[in-house]
Amino acid sequence: MREYERKQLLERVGREAATIGADIPEEIEVQGETLELRQFVFEIKRRDTVPAEERERVAEAKKNLRRERNERLERIEEGEISYAEGERLAASIIGIDRALDALEQLEPVSIEQEAARKEAVDQKRWMNFLQQALGHDDDGSRRRGSL
């Protein structure tokens, strides 16, 4: 895979609105086990909140999904893979993000946690804007032709 293709895939995965319209994968292999992800998410989401007896199972699933997401992202960032494999990994990462978003929405969130999350999102958006406006690449270097 060429470096510019890798950057395109990473940008797609990191895009704030990447999960809009994305499907949750039917099933996914996480930590060597096949998880029927879509069924699991819809089973949990059918309830308004996560029942006490399911909280540990949901927390463990979210932890494993985050770990799997990071491993797949690392394969795109550092692995010698084909563009087709990178595309497949990017699509699966977006699907995992969609599932995580759905599971996160079920948890009761304190006002302080929500404010901190929104502030972090705002800071990320601001930094991305500044990098683009100043003509910096992700690695901090300036693009050619920029001031």
Each residue's pLDDT tens digit, 99-137 = 888 888 776 555 666 677 778 888 888 888 888 888 876
> What is the mean pLDDT of the segment spanning 66-88?
89
pLDDT for position 74: 92
Are 97 and 68 in contact by the 8 Å Cβ rule? The answer is: no
Whether residue 146 has pLDDT greater than 50? no
Letter for the amino acid at 1? M
